[in-house]
Copies of this chain bind each other. A is one copy, B any other.
């Protein structure tokens, strides 16, 4: 099999043959590589155990069970969304942290959904068989949407499990993922954000690093701690330099299989526009936060998200503007096409694959022509506030739900109903002043992007300035009232229309144009999917079906070793220690964000300063992997992923372990902090034994 990897490596990435590349499907694990390179046998049991101990946070992260009583761990910055929703002016969970000393003290999170993957089934043949021969893109899209909704509904009815058909290889394959859902999730422990995100934005994506980026929850069922048979045993000592480690988590999105035409569009249009919006929001939220502490508290998580994306996207753009990276991509594609061309007489699979590149380029061009209005109107950039998002969901639910399941917009199919309702009826706080701030800014952005004279813009602004219009809309809408939402959702279309809610009416005003843009986007995505599938088929004839698809926020297995790297001719050691934390605070004069929480200053003499704190390793991860467990050969939890370094940011397009590294909190530091800093001995004990001590409640 070695040859395949060499060829594939040459075609896809620079160092695939030797590098620890890959976000592997759990049903197509890299057994050969692990055996040959690491003499490791990934048995079915080992894989199943890890799969079922892994948890997906529907809000956008990963985690894992660490006790049979449903205890689970993720990152602070994954849990922060839940912490923020629980926080008030009086009780700031994000800033101050939290520690439940008993089950009774554990706090139920709002609208948090966890998913645990139970099974994967390949449904590619069934999906493709449902597309009529010679259907145009529009018909093919509708047929594909219908069959996917049908498969999902059938599975949900049969198993009661959340059932999602996942599009892999950009349309080369379709797999049905079934998940157990947990919606009663309670907060057990969170450190202060100051130590969880020590070094703040300046140190984000950097290494060496000193972050206790953890948050501990417990899954409940029927009001009691969930009993889980698959959980990870927490290692007291963490990993060692050179150890083989695995990461099991949900990488959100990569673009490694995009064609050069698509990548250039990402480089020249998508990323610049994304960054334009992020810069704008960062300044908006940053200046608002500076005007008072309560402002800062309310905007905290939003601002963190913006800053985090800004830094990540700058790194991605830098990658795509690096002629070496783009050159590799161009060379790879040329070679691929040359091979297809050389064999086009020998197999009918090659000619369509050759044409596919042009079809993708054409679709990309059409999509690029409507990127701006799409992002504004369908993407909602023009109406950036929770009130609008809720209003649109109510409006569209009223229209979509009476339709047959297979003909609805994707987000309203039966199999997504439970998750949709969980989010829609959330009691999370929505702040009027913050809504006005973000809505006036985004209406201003709309007016400048589409022009203040645009007829739709004029209708949206209704003869008012963006600020005036935002004030009026936010004050007059009732969608922030949850019973009102339920009334309209249950009352259906007639109730929605009869309410004459101004925000819903705004959504309605925009909807014809938004839906038209979406229709074009869906059709062109269908064109691209079919073209990518043609390329995938040709590649499979050439190379076999091995390899891994781009990330899709579904469970993947990555592997690699704990390993330092060279930067500016200096060796960066793979581990930091707790001593390094105190050292860094001193060097930076304890100036925020390099100051320490009081308790860390007070307890310094108690902790073992030699404890390893953060470490880097080579497994292939990306955003969405945050909170993923890092496990050793024995399947023990030795750390938790929370970041990649700056050099890992171009991994979106090409993996390289020359300098790119994932960054984790060492399990040794987690136990040490719980035990010696936070006096959270009962949690440390539950981690050590894998079960809750019953007496303590």
Contact = CB atoms under 8 A, between A and B. Distances in A.
A202 interface: yes
A468 to B, nearest CB: 8
Interface string A303-342: 0000000100000011011111000000000000000000
Contact of A291 (B202, B449, B453, B466): B202
Contacts of A487: none
A279 B591 CA distance: 25
A283 interface: yes
A561 to B, nearest CB: 28
A268 B451 contact: yes
B202 A287 contact: yes
Given A268-B451, A279-B280, A280-B279, A201 B290 contact: yes
Contacts of A451: 268
Most buried by B among A279, A286, A310, A464: A279
Contact of A448 (B268, B279, B287, B466): B268
Contacts of A463: 323
A15 to B, nearest CB: 19
Interface in A457-488: 461, 463-467
Nearest to A464: B323
A373 interface: no
A264 interface: yes
A293 B461 CA distance: 44
Given A279-B279, A452-B268, A465 B201 contact: no
A194 interface: no
A205 to B, nearest CB: 11
A673 interface: no
Interface in A190-242: 200-202
B264 A444 contact: no
A447 interface: yes
A97 interface: no
Most buried by B among A202, A320, A321, A466: A321
A31 B289 CA distance: 48
A322 B465 contact: yes
A282 interface: yes
Given A279-B283, A291-B202, A323-B464, A318 B452 contact: no
B201 A321 contact: no
B323 A310 contact: no
A311 to B, nearest CB: 8
Interface string A291-306: 1110000000000000
A360 to B, nearest CB: 17
A276 interface: yes
A286 B307 CA distance: 12
Contact of A318 (B201, B268, B461, B466): B466
A352 interface: no
Contact of A321 (B292, B320, B322, B465): B465
A380 interface: no
A276 B451 CA distance: 15
A444 B316 CA distance: 12
A101 interface: no
Contacts of A591: 293
A351 interface: no
A452 B319 CA distance: 13
Most buried by B among A287, A588, A589: A287
A437 to B, nearest CB: 12
A302 to B, nearest CB: 15
Contact of A452 (B321, B324, B453): B321
A267 interface: yes
A251 B343 CA distance: 72
Contacts of A593: 290
Contacts of A323: 461, 463-465
Most buried by B among A310, A322, A593: A322
Interface in A583-612: 588-589, 591, 593
Given A290-B593, A321-B465, A324-B465, 5 more contacts: A272-B448, A272-B449, A279-B280, A292-B588, A320-B452
The 7 closest A-B pairs by CB, nearest first: A272-B448, A279-B279, A322-B465, A202-B291, A202-B290, A279-B280, A268-B451
Interface of A: 200-202, 264, 267-268, 271-272, 275-276, 279-280, 282-283, 286-287, 290-293, 310, 317-318, 320-324, 444, 447-449, 451-453, 461, 463-467, 588-589, 591, 593
19 contacts: A200-B290, A202-B287, A202-B291, A267-B448, A267-B452, A268-B452, A268-B453, A276-B280, A279-B279, A279-B282, A283-B283, A286-B286, A292-B588, A317-B444, A318-B444, A318-B465, A321-B444, A321-B466, A324-B465
